[in-house]
Structure 1
C-alpha cells in the first residue's frame, strides 16, 4: 500500500477574509485603547464613568446658568437624567446640585438642556411649586434621602452642579 501526503493550503479568498478580520480586530483594539486613554484623562480630572457618560461634580458654587456655562466649557452640559438608574447614580454623591432641567422658556413646561421635554421625573413631594410665588425656573437635586429628590429653585442661587458628557459609541 502506498501513502500519499497532501498539503491543503487555504484558498486566496480564505486568506483575504482572515486578513480583513485581523485588520478589523486591530482597528477595534486601537479604538478601544483610545477610549480608555480618554476615560483615564477624564478620570484624573475628577470625572466619574457611569453607563454611556462621564460625570463631573463641581466643588464650587455657581448660579444655574454659570454652572451650565462651566459644563459647556468642559465639552459637556448639565446632567440630563434619563433613567431610574441614572437618578440613583446622581443621588449617591449626596450633594444638593443643579441638574439640566428648566422651565425658563415656558412656565410649567420643564425641558432638559438637550432640548428634550421632561417625560420621566423624580420631583420631591409637592414639587415643582414656585414656593411662596418665587420664580423657581431651575431644577436641582435636593431631597437626597428620597428617590424623588428634585426641587425647583430660583436660577440665580449658587450651588454645586453635575456635568454630563456623553461618550461616543463609535
Structure 2
C-alpha cells in the first residue's frame, strides 16, 4: 500500500465533503496514513448469495415445470377417460334407441292386429244385430201365425160372428155407425166382446179401410209420448207393420199436432177428415169418430 507521510504537507480539496470518522477505510488507524480505497469485503458474499438465490429460482422453476407436466399428464388421462365414457354412453344410447325402435314397431304391429280384431268383432256385432232383428220379425210372424191357427181351431167350434160383425179371415170386425171419443170407443168394443182393431198386415189394413171413412183403431201413445202401443199392450215395433201417412212436404205422421188440443195427438185412426183411409194418423183422443172392433 502506498502511504503518504503525516508530516508532509497535504491539502484536502475543498469539496464540501465531511471527514470520515475513526475507522474510516481511507485513513490508517495507527499511522494516520492515507491509502487507496478498495471494494468492501462483503461484495463476494453478496455475489455468492445472488448465485445461490438464482440457483434456487431455477430449481423452483424446474420443480414447477415438473409439477405442471404431471398435472398436464393427469389432465390428459382424465380427458381420455371422459372421452372413453362419452363414446361408451353414445354406444349404449344407440343400442337403447334401436331396442326402442324395435319395440315401437312391435307395438304398432300389435295395434294393427288389435284394429283388425276390433273391425272383425264389429262386423260380427252388426251381423248379430241383424240376426236379432230377423229373429224378432220371425217371432212376430210366429205369434201371428199361432194366433191365426188358434183362431181357426176356435172358429171350427163357433158359428157366425154375430149381428153387425163381418168376417175376414179368422177374425170378425164391427164397424160402428155412431161416433165416440177414443176412450169410449175402446170401452164399447170391450162391451161387445172384442177390442179396438189391431192391424198386423197390409191385407187386414186394406179390409178395414175399405169403408172409405175415418175410424179409431186400437193404437195410442198415452203412457209415453212417441211409444205407440196396441190395446193388448203390444208395442207397435213388435208387429212389423207401420202404415203412417207420409207427406212430400212437411212432417210425416205422427206429428203430435197441438193447435186443436194442447195435450197433443195421442190416439191413432184410419184416415182423417179429408180421406186417406189407407194410412194412419195421430189425432186428439177427444175427437168423435167412428171406430172398428175386432174379435
TM-score in same-fold range (> 0.5):
yes
Q: CA deviation at 1:122?
A: 0.5
Q: CA deviation at 1:145?
A: 4.2
SS at match of 1:150: strand
Q: Distance in 2 between matches of 1:161 and 1:145?
A: 16
**Does residue 1:129 correspond to 2:129, yes or no?**
no
Name the CA shift for 1:118/1:66 in 2 (closer, same or farther; >3 Å).
same
**Per chain length, whose mean CA-contact separation is higher, i.e. which structure has more relative contact order (CA < 8 Å, sep 6+)?**
1
User: Of residues 254, 264, 268 in structure 2, which corresponds to 1:139?
Assistant: 268
Name the CA shift for 1:132/1:155 in 2 (closer, same or farther; >3 Å).
closer
Q: Distance in 2 between matches of 1:100 and 1:116?
A: 11
Q: Distance in 2 between matches of 1:150 and 1:100?
A: 11
Could you list the runs of 4 or more consecutive aligned residues of structure 1 that deviate by over 4 angstroms after TM superposition?
143-146
Q: Distance in 2 between matches of 1:47 and 1:132?
A: 35
**Does residue 1:105 correspond to 2:223, yes or no?**
yes
In the alignment, is the contact (CA less than 8 A) between 2:186 and 2:196 conserved in 1?
yes
Unaligned stretches of 5+ residues in structure 2: 1-154, 247-251
Task: Give the 5 Å matches for 1:9-48.
Answer: 32=156, 34-36=157-159, 38-39=160-161, 42=162, 45-48=163-166
User: Of residues 278, 281, 286 in structure 2, which corresponds to 1:151?
Assistant: 281
When normalised by structure 1's length, the TM-score is 0.70
2:204 matched to which residue of 1?
A: 86
Q: Distance in 1 between matches of 2:170 and 2:184?
A: 25
Q: CA deviation at 1:117?
A: 0.6
Unaligned stretches of 5+ residues in structure 1: 1-30, 166-170
In the alignment, is the contact (CA less than 8 A) between 2:216 and 2:269 conserved in 1?
yes
2:172 matched to which residue of 1?
A: 54
Q: CA deviation at 1:132?
A: 4.0
In the alignment, is the contact (CA less than 8 A) between 2:196 and 2:217 conserved in 1?
yes
SS at match of 2:167: strand
Query: Structure 1 or 2: larger helix share?
Result: 2
In the alignment, is the contact (CA less than 8 A) between 2:176 and 2:292 conserved in 1?
yes
In the alignment, is the contact (CA less than 8 A) between 2:258 and 2:265 conserved in 1?
no
Q: Distance in 2 between matches of 1:52 and 1:129?
A: 34
